[in-house]
Structures are given as structure tokens and as C-alpha cells.
Structure 1
Amino acid sequence: MNKIKVNSWQESIHVVNNKILTRFSLEKAFNQFILELKPLVTEPEVKIIVQFKVVLESGLIRTISRMQTITNNDYKILLDIFKEYWSIKTEEYHLVAIQKVIFTYKIVHSKFPSRLSPVVKPKPSFSFKGYDIPNTMDLTQWGEYKFSPNYHSAIIKKYKSKAYYSVVLKDREQLVELKINDKILLSFIDKMSNNNDLSSFTRELHEHTYIFREGNLILKQKNIKNIKYLTKVIGASHISYKFVAMDLETRAINGIITPYALSIYDGKDKISFYLSDYPTSDEMLIAAISSLLRKKYDQYKVYIHNFSHFDSVFMIKVLSNMNLNILPLIRDGRIIDLKLSWKKYSIYMRDSYLLLPSSLAKLTNNFQVESKGIFPYQFVNNSNIPLDYRGSVPNKEFYPDITNEQYDSIINTTSTWDLRTETIKYCEQDVVTLYQVIAKFSEQIFILFRIDVLKYPTLPLLAFGIYRNNFMGDAKIPLIHGEMYDFLVQGYTGGSVDVYKPSGNNIYRYDVNSLYPFVMKTSPMPIGNISYFEGDITQINPQSFGIFEVEVTAPQNLHIPILQLRMHTQKGIHTVAPIGDWKGVYFSEEIKNAKIHGYTFKVIRGYTFDKGFIFKDYVDFLYKLKVNSDKTSPDYTIAKLLLNSLYGRMGMSPYKEHHVLVSNKEALNIISKFEVSNVIDFKNGKELVSFFDHSGKDNLNISVAISLAVTAMAKVHTSQFKTMKDITLFYSDTDSIDIDKPLPIKFIGNELGKMKLEHIFDETVFLAPKVYVGRTIT
């Protein structure tokens, strides 16, 4: 004990770098103090009395903590207490430089009573950017106050601070400025919520809104600024016929698919290419593409049906060998547009199936144009059949979907069947048919909507363009990207498909009539102004409209869950309908519906929107067109296609893949710098590389909130049928149910959203989602 200075006050002094005392620098000073102290306190029979002080830039010393008496086992607790004291004093010394930290201490004998004095906190305060602001509108609790004679204003001096509040008093609100020496540090407005409770109020501070109840902050809101909104497009002044139709015929020999014929039609002239005229199929394709690399075809669209799924693989490989600038647009693994440039000219190769998603045979009937020919596709897959085959007509088994009468007609009218002649005839008929379908489709779209189809490579893009030109009106549809998109997309799930019972008898299958168009027409969509909030907004406004992150508890004994959740699993992201407790993101209207069925929620945070019925005119026009058109007419097909193609376009991801055709060396450079999603090696020194470049922003015309709301309201609509009493549910798809008895008549009809009876199964077995078999009565 000889080295210990018992009952003698000592100081441990620590210089503060940059004269800013943070929690980190306080902890650093404290740890240095303990290192100094430990050699002096090696025996258990001593205690330490400690007090935390600071030296201001002026040289004045200010006491921060109360005196603490500890043992050498209490260092961590002491640090936490000092940090808490400093957090309380931070605002008071916010604008004051701190030169030094001082720990004044005295070592005493162990009989001295221990005393740890935690912070005695003042009334709860509210902190904004380092400033502590009272949690009440009662000015008498803010500090030393003085009201004007007419009580229209007040000055309140903050406790232990040079700062003061200048307040203008109005009927139910007060305008506040926090000042030092007439310099305004902060200004805000407090508005009363309750005449009898000054601790329940709303505070508007900058772009934020804070709502207090009995002095507790229960909700924080911030208006989102600089929102960009979807703009209208200008319709076309005339219809364009700058397109050609192309078709490839292929054969599969030993598992290898090879093009052996190709035809092109530009509305006037047909030209065909046959493999026996060229050394290889690649050279045949090069000759065909080269025939289009002419000034007269500048800016032309080249349509190939099913190009993105099938023929594109052959085509891109060939194109990589040509002296062309190639710019592919690929989405979800499908080629949307392939721009080929030479000199100052360009053509664009597109998949007509993405614009008209149906087989060419069906499209000929829908648009009432020349029919496809009949051809024995499987006949050419025999390696023993030469391309110059001339002989008897191939057997009927090689002709798909041919009647006996049709086959007999071919036999009776053909003396010698020529493979080259028949292939070219069939291929040329296909390109003429495809051209006529696209031309008629384009003409009708132009008549109805004044839109040029050639500007839109896919049906969803076309529907989007039609909406923006003809039906959007003054709707303020926000474009959503970045953090907001990342949050909202968690709640964007598609339809649900579930098996509830494996088999049954006398099962009634009902479909909803145009489910998505129905909810688009009848449901308000999230548009307009957007606010972000933290807290349970439903405590303030139970009818709040938006998309919220919530803690969910499903009801006990739940048989048919109606809420979905996207879950990350080892096999990727899966959508499930959970029970129990979980956290998820949901549309407010889906939450309200789930509450009816016994779910409970605690709202954590989210976004609120204005609401509007933005699709009514679009749906009404197309549905009326569909109802009033013959099912074999182009108008019927157009209406049916467009009704279901709009909402999904708005839910696209803003994180766009980039696609480049580069050399092997350039591909390695891209792989080393970017997140690469796919590489196709054409084995000729060229690779098609797909990658994400996260250094920039891919701002697209998208609004995932709209798509999320549409799918959510579809689930709300179908939930009423899934949860009906006295009905047993066997199976459900996005817009259909299989149940054990007829639905009440009030739900049945031809109107949008009504149910229609599709089948009555005498016996049925449900093996898995989308996998079932049934024997129908009707």
C-alpha cells in the first residue's frame, strides 16, 4: 500500500483531438485512464472515487457526471455511465470546443461505501441532427420562459445553454426558432392534436413530420422529394410498313439442330435460301442476312416468329462472324431486339412471338389471312434423307395435325414429291402469312389507338405505349428505383397455386372472369405523392394507404392461408403462404382484408401514397371491344391480348442487364470488373457477355407499386372464395378454384370479376400445383 496515494485527489488529463468529443474519443480517453489507474490499484482493499469533467476552449472546467465510487471490477459499468452522461450533455456543448477530458479521482480504503450514480435523465426529449428538443408543447417545461404581455409570443432560455427558443403562439399551433445570438439553428412548427394534452401533437421540421402521443414519438414521416413521374407519349401520324418477315426451317440430326432453309418477304418480293446451294448452314445464313444489308432496308424491323427462343442462337453466332456492330437487348433470357449496324444504316431483328404470343397457325385464323402450309417436319430429321430428295410423298406420321382427307389430297395431286420445292414453298408461305398478320395487326392498332406497332418490340411495351398515349390522362404515376424499389419489391408476389386435398368427386371448377383487368378497374392504385414513415401509422390513421413492412401473426387453426411471402432458400427464392409469426411487406388493402380473417399486424415502416383509379378507361375500352367483337375477329384478339399485358410491365426490375458481343480477351476484362450473369461462347473468338454495371443507374419507366397493388388486390378478390364457410376447397390457381359444391348465384356471371363454371369433374386427382387430372361431366 506504500505506493498508493490514499485519500489524495488526482487528475488524469487527456487532450481531445480536433476539439470534438465523441463517444469514441471518450472511450479512448477512459481506457487510457484505466491503464494509468491499474498499477495503482493492485490490491482488493481499495476503491476509487471518480468524476468526469471537460475543459472548454475558454479554459473553463465543466463537470459532466456525478461522483462515482467503484471497485476495480466496475470499469465497464463506469464507462457506460460516463457515455450516458455525455449523451445527455452533448446538445448543451454542441457548439463548444472541448480541449481536454479530465477524470478526477481519489483512491480510498475498501470500507468506503460503493456508489454508482446513473444518469438522472430529464423529461424525454426529441433529438434532431444533434439538437435535443422537448417532447411537449408545454413551454413552461422548455426552460426559463417569459411570455409577451398579450401571450402571442414567448422566449424560453434552454437550461445550462446559451441557446433559446423564440416562439410565436397561434390558436392551435406554435412556430418555433432555436437560436444562439440571434442566429437561427433550427425552426419547426408544433400543432396540437388534443386541446387537453400538450404532450400529444404533431411537429413539422424541415421535410419531416413527427407525431407524439403523451410525450412519446410514435411516428416519423418524411415526404419524398424530387419524384419523377411517368410522362405521356405522342401517337403516330401515320402507319409504318418498314418491316420484313423471315422464317427458318431446321432439322435435327443426331441431336444437332441445323438450319437448312430460309425465306424473306418484304411485302412485295420473296427470296429464299437453301442449304444445298452453300457449303455450310452458316454461309447460307450469312447470305440471307447480307441480302438485307442494303440502304433500302435502313431502320427496318425483321420479324422472326419465336426468334428469341429458338432461331436466335443460330443467328447471333453467324452475326458474330460478320463485320457488323451488334447491340442486343435481352430481358429475362429472351432477345427483345437485336440491332445490326453497318456504315450509317441499321436493321432490327425481333421476335414477333413477343408481340403476338400465339402460334402462327392460330394467328392466321385470328387475323383472317392466308393459312400456313402443311409440311412433314420430322421427315427431314432422318440423316439418310438427302436435301435434294425427290420421290414418294412422306408417310402421314411425319405430318403433324393433318387429317386423312388432307393427306389423301396430297397423295392424289403429287406424282413426285420434291423436298427442296416443298420446303421453299412452305417456308415462303410462312413468311407471307407472318407479314400479313403483322401488317393487319399494325393497321388495326393504328386505327384504334394511333400507335405505330413497329416502335414497340413486345406486347407489354405496346400496351404501355397505348395506355400512355390514350388513357393515362393526368395520373401521376411515380417512377420507382433505388432503395424504394428494393423495399417495395419484397411485397411483389404473383398468383398462388395450391393443393389442399389430393382427390375428390363431383368437383366444381370456377374461373374468375378477367381477374387482373377487374382489379385494375375497380381498385385504387398507389400514385401521386409519396411519404416514408417509421412507426405504426395505423395508430394515427387506420385507413392509411400504401405499402408497409409489418410483423404478422396468423390466426390459430388457420386452414387456408391468404398471405404470401417471398423466402430465400437454398434452392433460390420461393413464394409460400406461411402460418405462425413472420415479417413481410404488404399492400395496405391486403392487410385490411387479412385482418377480417383474423390476422394481426404491427406496422414497422413503409411508404404511403395518394390513391387513384387510373386504369378504368383502359379496361372499359378494351373490355367493351372484346365483348362486342366476334371471337374470330382481329379486334377480339387485340382486346384480349392488351387487357392482361399492361400491369406487369410496370413491375420490371430497374437493374438492367447489359449485353455485349466481344472478343474472348474483352470478355475476360468484363468478367473481372462487373457482375456477369451469363456468357455464350460462339467458339469463334467471340462471346456474348451479359452483366450488371452497378456504377450507374438504369432509370426505366417502371412503378413496382402499381404491379404490387394489382396482384395484391387479385389475391384479396379470390380470398373470399377460398375462405367461404360450408365449402371445401380442393385446389386453387391464380384465378380459379376447385370446390365440392356450386357457388351462390350472386357470384356467377359474365361481368368482370364474376365467376364462370368451367367444368364439373366426376372424379379428379390433384398431384401437385399445375399437375392434376379429372374426368369431366361438362
Structure 2
Amino acid sequence: MLQKPPRKRKTKSVANRPIATIDFETDPFLYGREPRPFCAGFYSLEKGFHEFWGADCVARLCEFIGGLSEAHTIYAHNGGKFDFHFMLEFLENPVKIISSRIAAVKMGIHELRDSYCIIPIPLSAYEKDSIDYRLLEADKRDANRAEIIAYLKKDCTALFDIVSRFVDRFGLQLTIGGTAIKTLRGIHPFDSTSKWHDEKFRPYYFGGRVEAFKTGIHKGEFKVYDVNSMYPFVMSEMQHPTGKRYQTGYQRIIDKRGRIAGFADAPFYFAKIECEQMGAFPVRMKDAPLNFEIPRGVFHVTSHELKAAIETGRAWNVKVLEVMVPEETISFREYVARFMEEKISAKARGDKAGEIFAKLLLNSAYGKFAQNPAHYFDYWIGEPPNEEYEVYSADIDSIDIWRKPSEREAFYDVATAASITGGARSVLMRALSNSVNPLYCDTDSIICSQLEDTLHQTELGGWKLEAEGNEIAIAGKKMYALREGSHYVKTASKGVVLSGPEIFALCSGKSQHWKNEAPSFSLGKNRVKFVERTIAGKNSGVE
């Protein structure tokens, strides 16, 4: 019996493929219970919305996708940390994994992508309906099927809308960092560097400064100030090194304005110095955060920080052991101005997606300069093609994932990143020197009694007043609560979710126990984890 030839599938370049979105509804999150999907949704312009209800919804969704004759790029928001983990048996190589997140993976002729990689915000920040999650429990979902499917459809269509707009604007990009650096490079061309260059300048690269100067409970008048767009401001208004060519000097004299002999007119330099200091320069400690409290030693600094430290009296008896001056410097003023204008314009006309994109582009480029390919791997699902791969994730009940070090050497310029982050710390340093009774700082914000500086609510790089209160509890870095009377005006609790009263209780010596109802999905061992933590009480008294 003659068989019909297989249906010829339409092929298009990856950039021109139609876009689709998928999403799952699962059991409501409950600590210790692994959620399972009971409904799946698919949406595209060509096919419209399709739902798949029941315990076999994952298999039926994958069967539907497999039956599409035209190759699609299919997005799921946070799919690489959630949705794709329910689909592992249907996924194929090649797979791209970034920070334990499945960023992109093949499924037949289609490619699945995690839209969180390009739009790293909760979907609710753009458009999302609400639902009583208790309706998703097994004993209630069938009676509320119509409402659940309407909710699922809205998630799929909202994601489709914002992803389509992103792709129309920026093309089919994998990450927001890659999108930002590509866009920036189109406006301000710069050369890539090398492994040697990276190793030479990486000691000068540090992140933001986070300090709890005083812990415990404090009474008084306290204010929270922060900078309008700190990193875009530094990128725009300061000069930064670019390229591979530097002039080097050793054992040079430095004056009271931070100018180094032989390079007095240099707009920027790196310096390896020995000095005494008071909270000006960081030292990277082994297995610990940055330490700004080393009173004397050798420090790797940018000219932004060194000049600020000398001017504010935070560094003295400075000896310049080595100075490196770039032959070329650059500022990113046009890039910043373009996307600041886009952000303001989009907000004024109610274009939420446009405002989100502009914010992301403004804050995602600088970190990409510092990317380190030494941390990159190539991954493989199932039996690897050669012995270069080692096991990354093995599970007797699931799919093995293997990896090998990547051969790609994609170095942008860590020196540029070091200058930008150093510039941000210099802005913070000057503000700390102008603050009365500083209690806490975090990258672009200060909590103190008063900031004796010019304030501006909207100006790029201006300090603005964010909150005021009369009592604050500080348990440590990223853990504080400020209140005005009984009203909590500002809280922070990284790694756990604690309320204002719980943070005050913590600072009164009462330990706090927290557990996350939502599981964490990973590609390592124990792929589904439930996190709970106990934070020991810290009784420092009340001041």
C-alpha cells in the first residue's frame, strides 16, 4: 500500500518565525507539595488560543505544538525556572542554560524560550488578571473551569503582546543584557578585548556598596534618599576607559586633587595604591561580601573613587604603586539620553511596554561589559555526543543534563564596567560624607537623619527623598524596616519575606522562621526544593 509522503514543513529564518506563548496552571503553591499542571494554554496570532485541561495537559500541549507545520519561537514567562521543567521529556538539543535557567531549547522544529530572560519583571507589572488561587485546588477547579481558563488566556495573550512588541523593536534576542549591549554598541561603537585584558583589569571591578553602619532599633527622625537612575547617570556624565591601549606608570606622586604626576590631565585612570582609609575602598574577601573597613592596605581603585576619597578626607597617606591610563575614554551620553527620553515619553502617553523597555535598556548594559566567559558552559540533554561533557544534573526519575566548558571567548571590556561601578560608589561616597548620622546605604540609597545635598526629584543623578520615619529596625544588610508611628513606610528583607513587625521583632531578639510556599525548580540535584530559613534574633537594644 502506497503511503503519502510526509507533509513538507514550512521553514523560515529564525528571526522571521511566528511567535507563540504558553503557560500552565498548577496546584496552588503549598510548602512541601510539588505542584502539578492541570491546564495548559497556547496562543499565537495564527492559531488563536487553545487550552488543554486535565492531568495529561502537558503531553497534549506538546503533541499540539509538534503538529504545527510552521516553525515557531514559543515563549513562557519564567519558563526556564518553572514551565519547561514539566516538559523535559519532550525537549531536545541544543539547549542554552544561563544561571541554572533554561533560556532556550529545541522542541522539534520549534524553539522554546524563557521570556524572563528578555523581560525580567513579573508579568503583573505589565498586565495580568487576578484570581483566587484557592479555586485552583483539585476539589474546586472543575466547578470554576471557565474562570480559570479565562485567567490562563489573559496570561498568554498579555505575554504575547509584550514579547511581540519587544521582538518587533529589538529583534529575536536571547537576553536583556545582550539586547542592551548590542543597542549601546550601535550608538557608541567600542572594541572587544581579550582574556589577558580581562585578567589585568578584573581586580578593579567591584559591585555596589551595601553597609549597615548601625544595627538594632533606633528612634529619631530618619529619611531615605536615593539617586535618580544611578548607573545611567554615571554612564552618561563620567568618562570611562575603552580599548586595549594604556600607558603605565609606577611609584608616582599624587596631589590633593587626585592628579597623578605624568598624567595630570588624564580624564580617567586605574591605580593600585597603598594608603590609610576610612570606608572608602572595597576589598574582596574570600567567601564574603566586599569589606570597606580595612583601615590600611593595598587597594585597586578607579580615579572616580580615589578623587572622591581624597576630597572627602576618607583616604590619606596615599602612595601610588601603579597607574594605568587609557589612551581612549568614552561616555554613553547619547544612549542614556535616548532611552531616558523614551521612558519619559512612554510614561506620559501611557505606553507601559515602552516604559518597561526603556528602563530595562538603561539598567542592563553596564553589567554586560563585565561578563566572564570562564563561567560559560555548553549543555546537552541526555547522552552526550563525546567525553568532553560531565554530568551537570542526574536524576533517576528524570532526564540527565551534561555540560562542558564553552570555547567561546566573548570579552567585552571589564575595565569599562569597573569604571561605571566605581563611579557609582564615588557618588555614594560623597553623599555619605554629606549625610548626618548615616545608618545604612545600598548602592544608590542612604538612610540617615539628613542629607546636606541638593535634592531633585526627577533630574538624572539627583538625590531625592523617598521616605521618612521616626523609628527604624536594622537587622543587617538588606534587612530593615522604617516606620512612622504605626505605619511602615519602607521595608527590605532579601532572601526571605518578612513584614515590618517581624523585622522589628527580629531586632528585639526574637528569631523569625520563614518558609517559601512556592518551590524552587533547578537543574541540579534535588530539582524541586522547598526553602525555609530561621533568622536568629538580634537584640541590640533601642537607641
Q: Does 1:274 align with 2:53?
A: yes
In structure 1, C-alpha distance between the alignment counterparts of 2:246 and 2:23, rounded to whole Å: 52
CA distance in 2, matches of 1:466, 1:309: 27
The 8 Å contact of residues 309 and 429 in structure 2, kept in 1 or not, is answered as no
Equivalent AA in structure 2 for residue 608 of structure 1: V
Q: How big is each residue's C-alpha offset from its partner over 1:137-184, in whole Å with a ceiling of 9 and x where there is no partner?
A: xxxxxxxxxxxxxxxxxxxxxxxxxxxxxxxxxxxxxxxxxxxxxxxx
User: In the TM superposition, what whole-angstrom CA distance separates every residue of 1:461-519 from its partner, at most 9, and x where no partner exists?
Assistant: 222232233x22xx4x2323313212322221111111112324110111111111111
- Inter-CA distance 624–257: structure 2 relative to 1 (3 Å threshold): same
Secondary structure, in 3 states, of the residue corresponding to 1:630? helix
Q: 1:665 to 1:439 in 2, by over 3 A?
A: closer
Q: Do the aligned partners of residues 601 and 327 (structure 1) sit closer, same or farther apart at CA in structure 2, a change above 3 Å counting?
A: farther
Answering whether residue 154 of structure 2 is matched by residue 429 of structure 1, we say yes
* In 1: Cα distance, 2:42 partner to 2:412 partner: 36
- Alpha-carbon distance between aligned partners in 2 of 1:606 and 1:484, rounded to the nearest angstrom: 15
> 2:223 is matched with which residue?
508
For the residue of structure 1 that corresponds to 2:336, the secondary structure is: helix
Partner of 2:196: 483
Cα 1:434–1:723 shift into 2, 3 Å: same
Question: Partner residue of 1:594?
Answer: 309
Percent of aligned positions with the same letter in both sequences? 21
- Spell out, residue by residue over 1:337-387, the C-alpha distance to the aligned partner (whole angstroms, 9 max, x if none): 2234x4xxx3221111222222222212xxxxxxx44433244446xx286
How big is the shift at 1:441?
A: 4.0
In structure 1, the partner of 2:343 is 626
- Other-structure match for 2:366: 647
1:759 pairs with 2:467: yes
User: What is the aligned partner in structure 1 of residue 377 from structure 2?
Assistant: 658
Aligned to 2:63: 290
Once residues 623 and 776 of structure 1 are traced to their aligned partners in structure 2, the CA distance between those partners, rounded to angstroms, is: 33
Q: 2:207 & 2:337 partners in 1: Cα distance?
A: 24
Q: Describe the superposition over 1:260-305 as per-residue Cα deviations: whole angstroms up to 9, x where unpaired.
A: 21111111322222224x3xxxxx423322322356432x221101
CA contact (8 A) 2:231 2:424 kept: yes
Who is 1:306 aligned against? 78
Deviation at 1:751, TM superposition (A): 0.9
Aligned-partner residue type, residue 614 of structure 1: S
- Pick one of 655, 675, 699 that aligns with 2:409: 699
TM-score normalised over the length of structure 1: 0.54
- Which residue in the other structure is 1:361 paired with? 124
Q: Which amino acid aligns with 2:272?
A: V
Residue aligning to 1:376: 132
Name structure 1 gaps, 5 residues minimum: 1-238, 279-283, 365-371, 390-416, 446-450
For residues 458 and 382 of structure 2, the distance between their equivalents in structure 1, rounded to whole angstroms, comes to: 58
Offset of 1:662 from its aligned partner? 4.7
CA distance in 2, matches of 1:637, 1:262: 27
Secondary structure at 1:273's aligned position in 2? strand
Q: C-alpha distance in 2, partners of 1:314/1:552?
A: 55
The SS at the match of 2:285 is strand
Structure 1 residue 549 displacement after superposition: 5.6
Residue 733 in structure 1 maps to residue 504 in structure 2 = no
Q: Distance in 1 between matches of 2:302 and 2:442?
A: 21
Letter of the structure 2 residue corresponding to residue 359 of structure 1: P
CA–CA separation in structure 2 for the residues paired with 1:529 and 1:691: 30
Name which structure has the greater RCO, CA cutoff 8 Å, separation 6+: 2
- In structure 2, stretches of 5+ residues that fail to align are 1-14, 253-259, 490-543
Deviation at 1:427, TM superposition (A): 1.8
1:266-665 alignment, distance < 5 Å: 266-268=44-46, 269-276=48-55, 278=56, 284-293=57-66, 296-298=69-71, 300-315=72-87, 317-319=88-90, 324=92, 326-340=93-107, 342=108, 346-364=109-127, 372-381=128-137, 385=139, 389=142, 417-419=143-145, 421-443=146-168, 445=169, 451-452=170-171, 455-469=172-186, 471-472=187-188, 475=189, 477-502=190-215, 503-531=218-246, 533=248, 535-536=250-251, 538-544=260-266, 548=270, 550-555=272-277, 558=278, 561-568=279-286, 572-596=287-311, 597=313, 598-605=315-322, 607-630=324-347, 632-634=350-352, 635-663=354-382
Q: How does 1:67-146 map to 2 (within 5 A)?
A: none
Amino acid at match of 2:282: Q
Where 1:493 maps in the other structure, the secondary structure is: coil
Contact 2:95 2:381 in 1 (8 A): no
Change in CA separation of 1:748 and 1:599 when aligned onto 2, cut-off 3 Å: farther
Q: Deviations over 1:36-65 (max 9, x none)?
A: xxxxxxxxxxxxxxxxxxxxxxxxxxxxxx
Partner residue in 2 for 1:720 = 430
**TM-score normalised by the chain length of structure 2:** 0.76
Q: Report the CA distance between 1:769 and its aligned residue.
A: 1.2
Q: Distance in 1 between matches of 2:160 and 2:131?
A: 19
**Equivalent position of 1:687 in the other structure:** 400
Distance, in Å, in 1 between the alignment partners of 2:100 and 2:303 is 33
Aligned residue type for 1:753: G
The 8 Å contact of residues 373 and 430 in structure 1, kept in 2 or not, is answered as: yes
- The answer on whether the counterparts of 1:524 and 1:611 sit within 8 Å (CA) in structure 2 is no
SS of the residue 1:599 aligns to: strand
Aligned in 2, Cα 1:636/1:722: closer, same or farther, shift over 3 Å? same
8 A contact 1:374–1:426 mirrored in 2: yes
Give, as a single letter, the amino acid of the residue that structure 2 aligns with 1:312: F
Does the 8 Å CA contact 1:513/1:751 hold for their aligned counterparts? yes
Give the CA deviation at 1:630: 2.9
SS at match of 2:374: coil
C-alpha displacement of 1:428: 2.2
Letter in 2 for 1:657: Y
Output the CA distance in 2 between the equivalents of 1:373 and 1:574.
Answer: 39
1:765 and 1:386 map into 2 onto residues whose CA distance is 42
Higher radius of gyration, 1 or 2: 1
How far off is 1:240 after superposition? 5.1
**CA 1:257 to 1:521, structure 2 compared with 1: closer, same or farther past 3 Å?**
same
Does the CA-based 8 Å contact 2:226-2:465 persist in structure 1? yes
Partner in structure 2 of residue 770 of structure 1? 478
TM-aligned CA distance change 1:685 to 1:747, over 3 Å: closer
The answer to whether the 8 A contact 2:43-2:157 is kept is yes
1:244 aligns with 20
Instruction: Report the 3-state secondary structure (helix = DSSP H, G, I; strand = E; otherwise coil) of the residue aligned with 1:748.
Output: coil
Q: Structure 1 pair 742/564, CA: closer, same or farther in 2 (3 Å)?
A: closer
Supply the RMSD in Å over aligned alpha carbons. 3.0
8 A contact 1:504–1:730 mirrored in 2: no
Given that 1:285 and 1:318 are in contact with CA atoms closer than 8 Å, whether structure 2 keeps it comes out as no
Q: Is the 8 A contact 2:434 2:451 kept in 1?
A: no
AA at the equivalent of 1:752: L
How many residue pairs were aligned? Answer: 458
Distance in 2 between residues matched to 1:545 and 1:742, nearest whole Å: 28
Q: Per residue, is there more strand in 1 or in 2?
A: 1
